[in-house]
Protein backbone atom coordinates (compact mmCIF):
# COMPACT_ATOMS: atom_id res chain seq x y z
CA UNK A 1 0.00 0.00 0.00
CA UNK A 2 1.26 3.43 -0.89
CA UNK A 3 1.91 6.15 1.64
CA UNK A 4 3.87 8.48 -0.61
CA UNK A 5 4.36 12.14 0.36
CA UNK A 6 1.32 13.18 -1.66
CA UNK A 7 -0.90 10.20 -0.83
CA UNK A 8 -2.83 11.93 1.95
CA UNK A 9 -2.80 15.27 0.13
CA UNK A 10 -4.35 13.77 -3.00
CA UNK A 11 -7.46 12.56 -1.22
CA UNK A 12 -10.82 14.23 -1.73
CA UNK A 13 -11.87 14.87 1.86
CA UNK A 14 -15.24 16.30 0.83
CA UNK A 15 -16.30 12.67 0.25
CA UNK A 16 -15.44 11.65 3.81
CA UNK A 17 -18.12 11.71 6.50
CA UNK A 18 -17.84 14.22 9.33
CA UNK A 19 -17.01 11.32 11.68
CA UNK A 20 -14.17 10.18 9.42
CA UNK A 21 -12.83 13.72 9.16
CA UNK A 22 -12.89 14.24 12.92
CA UNK A 23 -11.16 10.90 13.50
CA UNK A 24 -8.48 11.90 10.98
CA UNK A 25 -8.12 15.37 12.49
CA UNK A 26 -7.73 13.90 15.96
CA UNK A 27 -4.95 11.55 14.83
CA UNK A 28 -3.22 14.15 12.69
CA UNK A 29 -3.35 16.86 15.34
CA UNK A 30 -2.08 14.49 18.03
CA UNK A 31 0.98 13.81 15.89
CA UNK A 32 1.40 17.49 15.09
CA UNK A 33 1.41 18.24 18.82
CA UNK A 34 3.87 15.41 19.53
CA UNK A 35 6.24 16.68 16.83
CA UNK A 36 6.14 20.23 18.19
CA UNK A 37 6.59 19.07 21.75
CA UNK A 38 9.53 16.84 20.77
CA UNK A 39 11.21 19.69 18.90
CA UNK A 40 10.62 22.59 21.26
CA UNK A 41 10.60 20.99 24.72
CA UNK A 42 13.68 20.16 26.71
CA UNK A 43 17.12 21.75 26.62
CA UNK A 44 18.23 21.17 23.02
CA UNK A 45 16.83 22.13 19.64
CA UNK A 46 17.80 19.55 17.05
CA UNK A 47 16.93 20.46 13.48
CA UNK A 48 15.68 17.56 11.37
CA UNK A 49 14.67 17.97 7.74
CA UNK A 50 12.58 14.79 7.56
CA UNK A 51 10.65 15.72 10.70
CA UNK A 52 9.97 19.17 9.25
CA UNK A 53 8.61 17.58 6.06
CA UNK A 54 6.29 15.37 8.10
CA UNK A 55 5.14 18.39 10.12
CA UNK A 56 4.40 20.45 6.99
CA UNK A 57 2.59 17.49 5.39
CA UNK A 58 0.43 17.03 8.48
CA UNK A 59 -0.43 20.76 8.48
CA UNK A 60 -1.39 20.69 4.81
CA UNK A 61 -3.61 17.63 5.30
CA UNK A 62 -5.29 19.20 8.33
CA UNK A 63 -5.92 22.38 6.35
CA UNK A 64 -7.31 20.40 3.41
CA UNK A 65 -9.71 18.49 5.69
CA UNK A 66 -10.80 21.69 7.44
CA UNK A 67 -11.45 23.41 4.08
CA UNK A 68 -13.60 20.49 2.83
CA UNK A 69 -16.90 21.81 4.26
CA UNK A 70 -18.69 25.13 3.91
CA UNK A 71 -20.81 24.65 7.03
CA UNK A 72 -21.14 22.40 10.04
CA UNK A 73 -18.69 21.08 12.59
CA UNK A 74 -15.64 20.89 10.32
CA UNK A 75 -16.29 24.42 9.08
CA UNK A 76 -16.49 25.63 12.70
CA UNK A 77 -13.19 23.92 13.53
CA UNK A 78 -11.65 25.54 10.45
CA UNK A 79 -12.54 28.96 11.81
CA UNK A 80 -10.70 28.18 15.06
CA UNK A 81 -7.60 26.69 13.43
CA UNK A 82 -4.27 28.48 13.27
CA UNK A 83 -1.15 26.66 12.09
CA UNK A 84 1.26 26.68 15.05
CA UNK A 85 4.36 27.35 12.90
CA UNK A 86 4.64 27.62 9.12
CA UNK A 87 7.44 25.07 9.41
CA UNK A 88 9.70 23.83 12.17
CA UNK A 89 12.34 26.21 10.84
CA UNK A 90 10.23 29.30 11.61
CA UNK A 91 11.69 30.94 14.71
CA UNK A 92 14.03 27.94 14.98
CA UNK A 93 16.50 29.56 17.34
CA UNK A 94 13.65 30.79 19.55
CA UNK A 95 11.09 28.06 18.85
CA UNK A 96 11.15 26.85 22.42
CA UNK A 97 10.35 30.36 23.64
CA UNK A 98 7.48 30.74 21.16
CA UNK A 99 6.26 27.23 22.03
CA UNK A 100 6.01 27.86 25.78
CA UNK A 101 6.09 31.60 26.53
CA UNK A 102 4.68 32.79 23.20
CA UNK A 103 1.46 30.87 23.71
CA UNK A 104 1.81 28.51 20.74
CA UNK A 105 1.63 25.41 22.96
CA UNK A 106 -1.48 26.75 24.72
CA UNK A 107 -3.25 27.54 21.42
CA UNK A 108 -2.28 24.13 20.07
CA UNK A 109 -3.69 22.40 23.14
CA UNK A 110 -6.89 24.45 22.98
CA UNK A 111 -7.50 23.41 19.37
CA UNK A 112 -6.58 19.83 20.24
CA UNK A 113 -9.22 20.03 22.98
CA UNK A 114 -11.85 21.26 20.49
CA UNK A 115 -11.09 18.29 18.23
CA UNK A 116 -11.25 15.89 21.19
CA UNK A 117 -14.65 17.31 22.17
CA UNK A 118 -15.99 16.81 18.63
CA UNK A 119 -14.49 13.31 18.61
CA UNK A 120 -16.31 12.36 21.81
CA UNK A 121 -19.59 13.96 20.67
CA UNK A 122 -19.46 11.90 17.47
CA UNK A 123 -19.05 8.63 19.37
CA UNK A 124 -15.26 8.30 19.15
CA UNK A 125 -15.15 7.06 15.55
CA UNK A 126 -12.33 4.73 14.48
CA UNK A 127 -10.15 4.92 11.39
CA UNK A 128 -10.46 1.65 9.52
CA UNK A 129 -8.44 2.58 6.44
CA UNK A 130 -5.26 0.50 6.70
CA UNK A 131 -3.29 2.82 4.43
CA UNK A 132 -4.10 5.84 6.57
CA UNK A 133 -3.16 3.88 9.70
CA UNK A 134 0.14 2.94 8.04
CA UNK A 135 0.76 6.64 7.41
CA UNK A 136 0.26 7.32 11.13
CA UNK A 137 2.57 4.42 12.04
CA UNK A 138 5.32 5.86 9.80
CA UNK A 139 5.07 9.20 11.58
CA UNK A 140 5.11 7.53 15.00
CA UNK A 141 8.18 5.48 14.11
CA UNK A 142 10.06 8.51 12.83
CA UNK A 143 9.14 10.56 15.88
CA UNK A 144 10.54 7.79 18.09
CA UNK A 145 13.67 7.73 15.94
CA UNK A 146 14.03 11.49 16.46
CA UNK A 147 13.15 11.58 20.16
CA UNK A 148 15.37 8.78 21.48
CA UNK A 149 18.74 10.33 20.53
CA UNK A 150 17.50 13.74 21.66
CA UNK A 151 16.77 12.35 25.14
CA UNK A 152 20.26 10.83 25.29
CA UNK A 153 21.87 14.09 24.14
CA UNK A 154 19.84 16.07 26.67
CA UNK A 155 20.87 13.73 29.50
CA UNK A 156 24.52 14.25 28.55
CA UNK A 157 23.95 17.99 28.28
CA UNK A 158 22.45 18.08 31.78
CA UNK A 159 25.43 16.14 33.18
CA UNK A 160 27.83 18.60 31.52
CA UNK A 161 25.92 21.60 32.85
CA UNK A 162 25.88 20.14 36.35
CA UNK A 163 29.66 19.54 36.20
CA UNK A 164 30.22 23.11 35.00
CA UNK A 165 27.94 24.47 37.70
CA UNK A 166 29.84 22.56 40.38
CA UNK A 167 33.17 23.87 39.04
CA UNK A 168 31.81 27.41 38.99
CA UNK A 169 30.44 27.04 42.51
CA UNK A 170 33.80 25.80 43.74
CA UNK A 171 35.61 28.72 42.05
CA UNK A 172 33.20 31.16 43.63
CA UNK A 173 33.76 29.61 47.05
CA UNK A 174 37.53 29.77 46.55
CA UNK A 175 37.30 33.42 45.52
CA UNK A 176 35.12 34.24 48.50
CA UNK A 177 37.57 32.50 50.82
CA UNK A 178 40.55 34.32 49.32
CA UNK A 179 38.76 37.64 49.45
CA UNK A 180 37.85 37.13 53.09
CA UNK A 181 41.44 36.14 53.89
CA UNK A 182 42.71 39.21 52.10
CA UNK A 183 40.35 41.39 54.12
CA UNK A 184 41.62 39.80 57.37
CA UNK A 185 45.23 40.44 56.42
CA UNK A 186 44.42 44.04 55.59
CA UNK A 187 42.66 44.49 58.92
CA UNK A 188 39.16 45.07 57.55
CA UNK A 189 37.88 42.00 59.35
CA UNK A 190 38.74 41.43 63.00
CA UNK A 191 38.65 37.94 64.42
Residue 4 maps to a domain: no
Q: How many domains are there within the chain? A: 1
Among 117-131, 152-166, 167-181, the range of highest mean pLDDT: 117-131
Query: What's the pLDDT score for residue 167?
Result: 84
Residue 157 maps to a domain: no
Residue 2 Cα distances to 6, 45, 58, 138, angstroms: 10, 32, 17, 12
Higher-confidence position of 94 and 53: 53
Residue 64 maps to a domain: yes
The pTM for the full model equals 0.78
Query: What's the pLDDT score for residue 111?
Result: 96
Gap between the Cα atoms of 135 and 51, Å rounded: 14
Mean pLDDT, rounded, of the chain: 87
Instruction: Note down the domain range covering 21.
Output: 13-148
Gap between the Cα atoms of 191 and 184, Å rounded: 8
Query: What's the pLDDT score for residue 29?
Result: 97
Residue 71 maps to a domain: yes
Measured distance between the N- and C-terminal CA atoms of the chain, rounded to whole angstroms: 84
Residue 102 maps to a domain: yes
Amino acid sequence: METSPTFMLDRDYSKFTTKEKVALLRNLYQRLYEILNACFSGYLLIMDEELNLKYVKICLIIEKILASEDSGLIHDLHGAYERPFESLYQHWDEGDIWWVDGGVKQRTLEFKGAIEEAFVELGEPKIVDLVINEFFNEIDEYLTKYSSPKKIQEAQFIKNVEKQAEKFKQKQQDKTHLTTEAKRKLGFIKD
